[in-house]
Amino acid sequence: MTQRAMYRRAKRYRLRYRPCRFDNRKRKADKRLGRVLQPSVKSPPDNTLNWLIRLNKWVPITRVWVETAKFDTQKMQNPEISGIEYQRGTLWQYETKQYLLEKFGYACFYCGVQDVPLEVEHVIPKSRGGSDRVSNLTIACVPCNQAKDNMPVEQFLARQPEKLAELGRQLKTPLRDAAALGSYLNGLLHGIELLGFPLGTGTGARTKHNRDQHGVPKTHALDALCVGELGGITGWPKATLDIRATGRGQYQRTKNQRTGKKNPNGRPVYRSRHYPRTKQVHGFQTGDMVRAVVPAINPRGNMPYKTAGTHIGKVAVRSSGSFNITTATGLVTGVSHRFCRIISRADGYAYHTKN
């Protein structure tokens, strides 16, 4: 995402100046999820809803059970918390800056100077994904704050490893995963109801009770089997089909590649690497499942083929017509398109079986 943003900026400033379009665009709520979500948070519930539709075509779905799990964020940060402390946050009876001043002894954390104007400083800059949580804030004097700017703290404190270690003890576990779960869970429930499936919800305690009652080991797939009401389980010790979203390639047709050389300023030199304009080569596309039957001898020159045999797997195409095939046992390189036959077209998912 950072590289794509860099390409957009270069295109905007080098060719002709154009204001950023992000500020004058309004994001609309997703019709299925009923809310505005970031693309990375929107992807998991979208995949779930798409697979509900696909599975319902093969086997009628009578009911969908969803485990409404939640993270105890205070317990994640402080495992010893109990009692009335649950009702008091980190800033109970404090303002943010006053809390930080007392926490760091009214001195700049980086240089230790006192009796000068101090500012609130983001340890991980917001431009690098840092948040406004108190655990990501410290106190710094104006010169240190300006010198650090948006530099990574590891680079800024490279000559002060003891300071860096002390700062690491001040930081706490990030709660991005917990926030993401809370963001898309309600949207997922809303989307299932819109699709018309009967919906039921269960708790993690109920899932654990069903698992213990039927003697089922703890795995992700079998946990999903034990959510909600459960009359019985038969034949569960079987291989599980693992489905992962892999996408359908990328729109980017150019990529920078380091050449190993340096310019007079000492910076590395890059060159542009161009991808084919068309994704299909001889009727095949990267991600397709193929079956390749390679003969032992080349009839044209009576030379043996190094890739002789039958190979079944996912293909990666090349403009030369010599493909790579990823099979269950490994990667087979240099298989001609003449020996490949389509089993199924790429649908944006990868399939594997797990015991």
Mean pLDDT of successive 10-residue segments in the chain (355 residues)?
73 65 68 78 87 92 87 70 70 78 89 91 86 85 92 89 82 69 82 91 89 85 87 79 82 76 81 80 92 86 84 91 91 93 90 78
Does residue 250 form part of some domain? no
**Is-contact 12 18, C-beta < 8 A?**
yes
Tell me, what's the pLDDT at 12? 66
Tell me, what's the pLDDT at 141? 94
- Cα–Cα distance list, 291 to 38, 91, 336, 346 (Å): 38, 62, 12, 14
Last residue of a domain, one of 170, 192, 210: 170
Last residue of a domain, one of 170, 200, 226: 170
Does residue 268 form part of some domain? no
Which tokens go with 331?
Answer: 């990667």
**The domain that contains 287 carries what CATH number?**
2.30.30
The residue type at 304: P
Cα–Cα dist 331/345, whole Å = 19
Does residue 166 form part of some domain? yes
Q: 3-state class of 302 per DSSP?
A: coil
The residues facing 230 across adjacent strands are none
Report the residue count for the chain.
Answer: 355
Does residue 227 form part of some domain? no
Neighbour-count burial of 34, counting CB atoms closer than 10 A to its CB (0-12 exposed, 13-18 middle, 19+ buried): middle
Number of domains in the chain: 2
Does residue 27 form part of some domain? no
Tell me, what's the pLDDT at 95? 79
Tell me, what's the pLDDT at 301? 67
**The domain that contains 132 carries what CATH number?**
1.10.30
Does residue 239 form part of some domain? no
Last residue of a domain, one of 119, 146, 170: 170
If you write DSSP's letter for every residue of 235-296 in order, what string do you get? S-SS-EEEEEE--S--S--EEEEEEEEE-TTSPEEEEEEEPPSSSEETTEETT-EEEEEE-S
Note down the domain range covering 163.
76-170
The residues facing 242 across adjacent strands are 352
pTM equals 0.63
Tell me, what's the pLDDT at 93? 66
